[in-house]
Structure 1
């Protein structure tokens, strides 16, 4: 299995400009990176003052690149309307020539991402919203006739076109069974809060118990300075280099991207 390398970029403060994110993505593609993925947040605590919209950033990446995969990583589906998200995803997939990956998850309310705006703060309820929303979203993205009336979402007798193929990665914390089980039904698992590369052995064993497809993606992200080598050896299909969230310096970011995805 070939492990691909990506940039996991927080569009905050010095990087809170979709035009600049597009520039950085073009630089990443030229340096040999395989993907550029963008954090999706409305706010990120008192240390962050400026935040760019993830969809504008992804559109800029799509227009400035030809090869890299791209997408939001990750979007909390509970604060989105599945039908609007389906239109956004289909448009980005079309714009990028099929390079969009849709990262989805519960999200976290630690800085009021939900409660500050009157959205659902209870993670258990958001979990139910995620499951129901995924059913509506995938039906619409698949171009199916969709007739759904559920606890949280409604889609009455509609069919969406275009319906390009959009892979879905589900995110979850290491050791939590529900996110892994949910992800196993889709295209990939973005597993966070791993203590070390050896934790991937358990992740892969648990996924095999759910009979995931051979091309199922296991995705991890590395903090600044971590050696990707051990993660490559443990079977991660994507290893992302995290850029952010705090004290972002544009010159330093450009140096890190230009260095390419080499193993330290």
Structure 2
């Protein structure tokens, strides 16, 4: 199992320093987040921040938890992803989902799609365009909401065959999980609460079966590893944290991403203290 950390609170300088500390203390990934207007929370542009993180770290995976592609132009995301992928030497991962409509970037502006169906359709269009753009070949695409004609994106990403995509999967929704199964990883979400190790065990079995069936038609698409990425807060104390993470690892999870969002408890200083403790030893 690999371990990531979300820089949920702090200034730009504090977030960059937190990522450097995460790398120095054995974490495998560092993630920012993608918001526009979330209450009064200090919020930074994720792509600008990821560019800074790419040139100030050397080893750890980088991304944002998560990118709501429904409110982004996929051709612009294609350019942003390739740039950060090259800046980082191939360390970018792209976690994606429908996004939260209470973000002012959805609910506080006109013209954005807020229905779950509309956001899902735009997400699927965006992923289809990104995959074609990352190929480096000339392409056109006609989707439900986006049509592009005769585009070429160069250079290709450092990573082949593509930048890894982790998609949020609402377990046990077949449609949502089916989208994730077509990509490179799933960030499972439970319908009534956090996913449990038993949930992970069941969704891993379901995903393995689905990917085997899909591979019969597109074998070249399903050759790589598939990540199962669990978000949460580990218990205090190294033994308790290790036992908690081990239960998910034994169930088939490949990543634990420490994601702390309690404004009453979590500050830039407490995040730094936690990062310096390092990830659990399994």
Q: Which residue of 2 aligns with 1:64?
A: 56
- Name the counterpart of 2:68: 76
User: Is 1:8 matched up with 2:6?
Assistant: yes
Q: Is the 8 A contact 1:169 1:183 kept in 2?
A: yes
Deviation of the 1:224 alpha carbon: 5.0
Contact map agreement 1:9 1:244 (CA 8 A) in 2 = no
Q: Displacement, 1:252? A: 1.1
Find 2:146's aligned residue among 153, 156, 178: 153
CA distance in structure 2 between the aligned counterparts of 1:209 and 1:217, rounded to whole angstroms: 15
1:87 aligns with 2:97: no
Displacement after TM superposition at 1:66 (Å)? 0.3
The within-5 A match list for 1:226-237 is 227-237=244-254
**Counterparts of residues 138-149 of structure 1 (less than 5 Å):** 138-149=131-142
Alignment of structure 1 residues 89-108 onto 2, 5 Å: 89-108=81-100
Rounded to whole Å, the distance in 1 between the matches of 2:58 and 2:144 is 40
2:238 counterpart residue number: none
Q: Would you say how many aligned residue pairs link Structure 1 and Structure 2?
A: 256
Is 2:36 the partner of 1:18? no
Structure holding more helix per residue: 2
| 2:270 match | 252
User: Equivalent residue of 2:256, what SS?
Assistant: strand
CA distance in 2, matches of 1:224, 1:112: 30
Q: CA-to-partner distance for each residue in 1:181-225, whole Å, 9 max, x for gaps?
A: 011111111112334211111110110121264611111012253
Query: Residues 229 and 254 of structure 2 are in contact (CA less than 8 Å); yes or no, is this contact kept in structure 1?
Result: yes
C-alpha distance 149-173 of structure 1, shift in aligned 2 (>3 A): closer
Aligned Cα root-mean-square deviation (Å): 1.8
Change (3 A) 1:229 1:150: closer
Counterparts of 1:77 and 1:161, CA distance in 2? 21
Q: 1:245 to 1:143 in 2, by over 3 A?
A: farther
Structure 1 residues 190, 145: closer, same or farther in 2, change over 3 A?
Answer: same
Spell out structure 1 runs of 4+ moving beyond 4 A: none
Output one character per residue of 1:70-97: Cα deviation in whole Å (capped at 9) or x when no partner: 0122111110101000000000000000
Q: Secondary structure at the match of 1:218?
A: strand
State the TM-score, normalizing by the size of structure 2.
Answer: 0.85
Supply the distance in 2 between the matched residues of 1:27 and 1:215 (Cα, whole angstroms).
28
* Structure 2 gaps, min length 5: 213-221, 236-240
